[in-house]
Amino acid sequence: MTEISIRQPDDWHAHLRIGSLSESVIDLFNVYGRVVCMGNLADPIDNLHKIISYRSNILSSVDFLPIIGAMLTKNSTLEKWIKITNLLYGRVFIKYLPEGVTTNSESGIAWPELENYYPILELAQDRRIPFLIHAEIDRDLKTGELIPEIAREKAAVPYVEKLARDFPELIINIEHVSTRAMVDLIMTHDNLSGSISPNHLAHRYEDVFDEQGNLFNVHKYFKPVAKAKYDQAAIIAAALSGDKKFFFASDSAPHYQADKEKFQKAGAFNALTNLTYLCEFFAEHNALEKFEPFVSESGARRYGFPLNDRTIKFRRETWTVSLIYRGIVPDLAGRIMKWKVIE
């Protein structure tokens, strides 16, 4: 087989940034029908005015439908979210970044304080608004000690499980799932699903950190961090399973090379290679029939959207990923890819 066509995919988690950085990458997302645009900017997108402004800026230069992942922050109130959902239902999801776990999460809410915002989650449950979770915890809540980055998602499992039990009808998605423990939890609760980033299929912990846990490859540093073989195998199995609970979301998160290297910022810019990498991934596992459901169907069905009408085509053709793209180091830079999007 040298060419395949699939239904137009969606990207259910992407960081489009703002300003010149956004302008450098946003056109790459026009291959998708819908993109969930994350709102964890330096000034978090967490109220109606900011959501409308950010969404309007995106709409002015793209072909896809932007859905804003608006932040649940310490400034959030039930009244604000009623206004948001009344005006933008179907165009906004709720994104939960626990305080301190990743880029621009300073205004996030600590796990123990989340119960104070349960009225907002009750609204989301009643109105079928997806609740997207970056499921990590960075400190032991009893001792205050930092939890190693590789262990932070597993440490969040009890908190996610409590939330799933407290809100049995809430659409809860674990973003960029990266551990066997979280996959196992998702499988035990009907209201849980998990999006999978190519980051966690392509990279392992030892590609990023040395034996002492020191970061040595900042361009493969993203959060949750890449995991060891045991956990990566579970993510690969989930992606290949065909289970509708698991679907594609890129978590593409660009930084200019200078900023990435100087400040060791977390985030991988994988927008150049996502779909071609995944086509190659499924082909090499003799599972090309599961490629289209993973990228184009399961996520839309999970969130209650119709499937896209357009198709896109891939050709078996080699090409080399750029070492630098508009000032950004791409994920898989220098790698020879085996498939290419041609239309």
**147: phi then psi, degrees, rounded to nearest 5:** -90, 135
Angular region, 334: left φ>0, alpha ψ -120 to 50, beta rest:
left
Catalytic residue among 10, 46, 138, 251: 251
46 belongs to the catalytic site:
no
Alpha carbon of residue 240 to chain centroid: 18
H-helix or E-strand spanning residue 24: helix 19-25
CB 151 within 8 A of CB 113: no
Residues 6+ apart with CB under 8 A from 62: 26, 27, 29, 30, 35
DSSP string, 256-308: -HHHHHHHT---B--TTTHHHHHHHHHHHTT-GGGHHIIIIIHHHHHHT-PPP
Enumerate the active-site residues.
251
